[in-house]
């Protein structure tokens, strides 16, 4: 529109302001050459309406916050020099204690005419921007919290002495594993991660562990079981726990050796595993009868708690009606190398005695020797116990 056409609208500035408000603007101001508001037309929300009531007769620059005064001066200067200004957003203080953002454009109506300032309330846009900013900040906080949590998790994951594996609940394949798992299973991590979680276990133990996986995956229940490693390398305790994340549900599999102190260098791994699962009490002693190794069945038969330390103690503390009985048994073993199903007595932790059958063997080791004992509770009438030091019982072979 040419300047002479705008000049024709100079006398109709209030009507033009009303028209512009009615077709989509929230506020229209008629400002004279000194920048004073002479006419106000409101079509916006209540905050705009309530604050604009006080502007009439005041300079437009005095109705805005201090940091946006410069924008108002530029707005009016552009309109005065070129007849039209670009849009600028300013803030008006309100009675509610919050600033109302309004984007203004200005046009001069003729060479000597007033300036028509038309504005759009940006409160909704500003609120959306603020919500977006808060959401972004919250996402960033969550991200860094997750990063810190993952860092702590990875640290605990790697320094754990137990073998720990994260299992995909659908495929039951290993998603992640720590170095302790590689050491326990005797496999590099790349042969554990991505493979079936039960692969490092003996095939006889896999069915029971798969049942634990099913209970954890379908019912959300944690479970525990004992399992055997391949090649009879030992027994392990396995626990399965649901591990819920934002993306999905995984399973946490923790594996640790059963009673690591129970194993000794002289015992082969196969013997260790067999002793562990044997229902009969098994004890290995040195030549003096001091216990070098015992299995859980011996502790159960003697009714001792798992924490009781028996290594280094004489087996005569438990086996034999008297110390002399135990000594005579060792003498028979040195002479005959083995004996089967000798009836004896086992003193339990509370002092009670129970009849037991003992099978034993002597294993010479150079100048040294060791003894192996298999002990089970006697059923019915057993063979008689050695009682005479000078006349071995005929049951001893």
Kindly report, residue by residue over 294-313, the tens digit of the pLDDT.
888 898 898 887 667 788 88
pLDDT of 69? 93
Any idea which residue has 């050796």 for tokens? Answer: 257
Residue 383 pLDDT class (50, 70, 90 cuts): very low
**pLDDT tens profile 20-38:** 554 457 888 889 988 999 8
For the cut 70, the answer to whether the pLDDT of residue 106 exceeds it is yes
Residue 73 pLDDT class (50, 70, 90 cuts): very high
For the cut 80, the answer to whether the pLDDT of residue 15 exceeds it is no
pLDDT of 64? 92
pLDDT of 395? 32
Give the C-alpha distances (Å, rounded to integers) separating 350 from 300, 301, 302, 312, 313: 13, 12, 9, 20, 17
pLDDT of 59? 94
Sheet containing 338-347, strands listed edge to edge, beginning at the edge strand earlier in sequence: 291-294, 281-286, 368-377, 353-365, 338-347
pLDDT of 348? 87
96 or 159: which leads in pLDDT:
96
181 or 16: which leads in pLDDT:
181
Give the C-alpha distances (Å, rounded to integers) separating 77 from 113, 119, 127, 384: 14, 17, 30, 122
Instruction: Point out the least confidently predicted range of 23-32, 183-192, 263-272, 325-334.
Output: 263-272
392 or 188: which leads in pLDDT:
188
pLDDT of 389? 34
**pLDDT tens profile 162-174:** 888 889 999 999 9
Q: Chain-wide mean pLDDT for the chain?
A: 78
pLDDT of 249? 75
Most confident among 4-18, 125-139, 153-167, 212-226 (mean pLDDT): 212-226
Instruction: Report yes or no: 298 and 375 within 8 Å, Cβ to Cβ.
Output: yes
pLDDT of 342? 84
pLDDT of 272? 65
Q: Which H, E and C letters describe the chain, residue by residue?
A: CCHHHHHHCHHHHHHHHHHHHHCCCCEEEEECCCCEEEEEEECCCHHHHHHHCCCCCCEHHHHCCHHHHHHHHHHHHHHHHHCECCCEEEEEECCCCCEEEEEEEEEECCCCCCEEEEEEECHHHHHHHHHHHHHHHHHHHHHHHHHHHHHHHHHHHHHCCCEEEEEECCCCEEEEECHHHHHHHCCCHHHCCCCECCCCCCHHHHHHHHHHHHHHHHHCCCEEEEEECHHHCCEEEEEEEEEECCCCEEEEEEEEECCHHHCCCCCCHHHHHHHHHCCCEEEEEECCCEEEEECHHHHHHCCCCCCCCCCCCEHHHCECCCHHHHHHHHHHHHHHCEEEEEEEEEECCCCCEEEEEEEEEEEEECCEEEEEEEEEECCCCCCCCCCCCCCCCCCCC
pLDDT of 119? 86
For the cut 70, the answer to whether the pLDDT of residue 158 exceeds it is no
**pLDDT tens profile 197-213:** 999 998 888 999 999 99
Most confident among 46-50, 54-58, 321-325, 336-340 (mean pLDDT): 54-58
Residue 7 pLDDT class (50, 70, 90 cuts): very low
Residue 387 pLDDT class (50, 70, 90 cuts): very low
């Amino acid at each position: 529109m040419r300047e002479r056409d705008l000049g024709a609208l100079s006398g109709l500035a209030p009507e033009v302001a009303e028209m512009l408000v009615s077709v989509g603007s929230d506020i229209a101001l008629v400002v004279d050459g000194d920048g004073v508001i002479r006419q106000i037309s409101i079509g916006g929300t209540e905050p705009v309406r309530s604050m604009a009531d006080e502007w009439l007769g005041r300079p437009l620059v005095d109705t805005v916050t201090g940091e946006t005064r410069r924008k108002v001066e530029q707005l009016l200067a552009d309109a005065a020099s070129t007849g039209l200004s670009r849009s600028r957003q300013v803030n008006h203080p309100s009675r509610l204690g919050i600033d109302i953002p309004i984007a203004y454009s200005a046009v001069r109506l003729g060479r000597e005419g007033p300036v028509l300032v038309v504005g759009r309330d940006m409160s909704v846009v500003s609120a959306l921007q603020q919500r977006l900013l808060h959401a972004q900040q919250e996402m960033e906080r969550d991200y860094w919290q997750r990063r810190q949590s993952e860092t702590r998790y990875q640290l605990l994951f790697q320094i754990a002495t137990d073998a720990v594996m994260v299992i995909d609940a659908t495929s039951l394949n290993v998603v992640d594993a720590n170095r302790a798992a590689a050491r326990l299973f005797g496999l590099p991590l790349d042969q554990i991660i991505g493979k079936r979680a039960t692969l490092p276990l003996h095939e006889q133990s896999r069915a029971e562990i798969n049942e634990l996986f099913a209970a954890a995956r379908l019912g959300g229940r944690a479970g525990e079981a004992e399992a055997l490693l391949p090649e009879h390398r030992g027994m392990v305790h396995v626990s399965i726990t649901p591990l819920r994340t934002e993306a999905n549900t995984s399973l946490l599999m923790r594996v640790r050796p059963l009673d690591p102190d129970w194993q000794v260098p002289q015992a082969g791994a196969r013997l260790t595993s067999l002793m562990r699962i044997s229902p009969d009490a098994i004890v290995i002693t040195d030549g003096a009868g001091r216990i070098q190794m015992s299995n859980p069945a011996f502790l159960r038969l003697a009714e001792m708690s798992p924490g009781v330390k028996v290594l280094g103690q004489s087996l005569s503390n438990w086996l034999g009606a008297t110390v002399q009985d135990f000594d005579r048994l060792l003498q028979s073993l040195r002479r005959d190398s083995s004996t089967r199903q000798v009836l004896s007595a086992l003193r339990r932790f509370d002092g009670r005695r129970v009849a037991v059958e003992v099978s034993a063997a002597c294993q010479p080791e150079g100048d040294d020797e060791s003894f192996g004992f298999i002990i089970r509770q006697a059923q019915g009438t057993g063979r008689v116990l050695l009682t005479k030091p000078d006349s071995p019982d005929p049951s001893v072979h």
